[in-house]
């Protein structure tokens, strides 16, 4: 989300940053684990509930956590029809659509593959930013990273084998979900930059709108479950409360404390944790091409996030 504008102050007048009770490295590790295990939780949830139902439950629990945080900090929802209109689009692109696509994808593909597909978001983001953001100019290193990253995707998918044994529909859904995130980020950056509302307020409203969207769609495509198995229900609750609500709070805290560059490094740990969890806890198969391709994807994604030095930017 966007950063609220603040007045410029002299260095001597800047208040000291409050010390966090928990070191940022611990919170970084917790965020990596939460998001890494999210794909396993989706797999468990879709074992008993329809994908739209899993997504709706995820959003309900996630919104509840954000609502509690807003109440504790005495923050209100944003005002203004324009802001709510833009947040409605952001809710679709950043929450309702990708969450649903991942849930449907994991009906036919392993959670390990879904986690690796999620790691392609920086690649899609870099490609889109070259077109949509005039200030984000390409460099040779970043273009090379884009090519390397998509080479890694082909390695994960086993392109030399003709994608044998791969569910094309499920994989395409997972890749579309990862594409939806940077589309949403660019939209938010172009429409809500400089909004006076806080991150927490905007995100709370966004999750609320996504919940409403799924509450409308879910009854149209699914029937109410006749039973509520405990383990899948707990998986959905954890996916929403931890993987959406708590994770968002951790992410914004990290970005505020150590900056966006370090904060976004969590992206590179998610597929590693998702793969380990899927193999160890769900018994999913692991071919050599999966970890090798994932490493190539992460290397390419890291290159796409590199920015030119200050001297080159001034030049």
DSSP 20: P
Alpha-carbon span 120 to 138, nearest angstrom: 18
Neighbours of 130 (CB within 10 A): 15
Q: What is the mean pLDDT of the chain?
A: 84
Check: CB of residue 219 under 8 Å from CB of residue 101: no
Residue 312: pLDDT band by 50, 70, 90 thresholds? Answer: very low
Check: CB of residue 121 under 8 Å from CB of residue 180: no
Check: CB of residue 62 under 8 Å from CB of residue 241: yes
Neighbours of 258 (CB within 10 A): 15
Structure tokens at 311: 């001297």
pLDDT of residue 130: 73
CA triple 195-196-200, angle to 5 deg: 90
pLDDT of residue 10: 39
Residue 75: pLDDT band by 50, 70, 90 thresholds? Answer: very high
Alpha-carbon span 242 to 122, nearest angstrom: 23
pLDDT of residue 100: 98
How far is the CA of 104 from the CAs of 39, 55, 72, 109, 173, in angstroms? 12, 10, 35, 9, 7
CB environment 214-244: b (16+ within 10 A), e (fewer): beeebeeeeeeeeeeeeebbebbbbbbbbbb
Nearest by Cα to 142 from 315, 304, 310, 34: 304
Check: CB of residue 180 under 8 Å from CB of residue 98: yes
Nearest by Cα to 103 from 176, 188, 186, 34: 176
Q: For the whole model, what pTM was predicted? A: 0.85
Q: Which of 10-14, 100-104, 139-143 has the highest mean pLDDT?
A: 100-104
pLDDT of residue 14: 44
Check: CB of residue 117 under 8 Å from CB of residue 177: yes
Phi-psi map region of 80: left, alpha, beta (phi>0 left; psi -120 to 50 alpha) = left
pLDDT of residue 234: 97
Structure tokens at 298: 């992460």
């Amino acid at each position: 989300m966007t950063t609220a504008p603040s007045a410029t102050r002299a260095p001597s007048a800047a208040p000291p940053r409050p010390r966090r009770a928990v070191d940022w490295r611990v919170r970084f590790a917790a965020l990596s684990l939460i998001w890494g295990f999210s794909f396993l939780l989706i797999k468990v949830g879709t074992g008993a509930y329809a994908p739209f139902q899993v997504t709706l439950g995820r959003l309900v629990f996630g919104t509840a956590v954000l609502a509690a945080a807003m109440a504790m900090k005495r923050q209100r929802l944003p005002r203004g029809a324009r802001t709510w209109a833009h947040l409605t689009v952001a809710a679709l692109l950043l929450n309702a659509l990708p969450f649903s696509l991942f849930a449907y994808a994991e009906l036919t593909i392993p959670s390990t593959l879904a986690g690796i597909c999620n790691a392609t978001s920086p690649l899609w983001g870099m490609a889109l930013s070259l077109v949509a953001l005039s200030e984000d100019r390409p460099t040779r290193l970043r273009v090379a990273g884009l090519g390397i990253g998509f080479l890694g995707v082909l390695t994960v998918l086993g392109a030399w084998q003709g994608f044998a044994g791969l569910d094309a529909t499920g994989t395409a859904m997972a890749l579309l979900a990862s594409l939806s995130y940077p589309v949403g980020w660019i939209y938010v950056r172009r429409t809500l930059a400089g909004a006076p509302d806080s991150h927490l307020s905007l995100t709370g409203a966004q999750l609320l709108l996504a919940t409403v969207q799924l509450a409308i769609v879910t009854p149209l495509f699914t029937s109410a479950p006749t039973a509520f198995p405990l383990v899948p229900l707990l998986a959905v609750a954890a996916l929403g409360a931890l993987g959406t609500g708590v994770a968002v709070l951790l992410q914004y805290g990290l970005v505020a404390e150590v900056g966006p560059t370090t904060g976004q490094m969590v992206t590179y740990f998610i597929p590693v944790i998702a793969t380990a969890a899927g193999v160890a806890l769900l018994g999913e198969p692991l071919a050599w091409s999966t970890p090798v391709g994932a490493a190539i994807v992460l290397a390419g994604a890291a290159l796409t996030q590199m920015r030119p030095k200050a001297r080159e930017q001034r030049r």
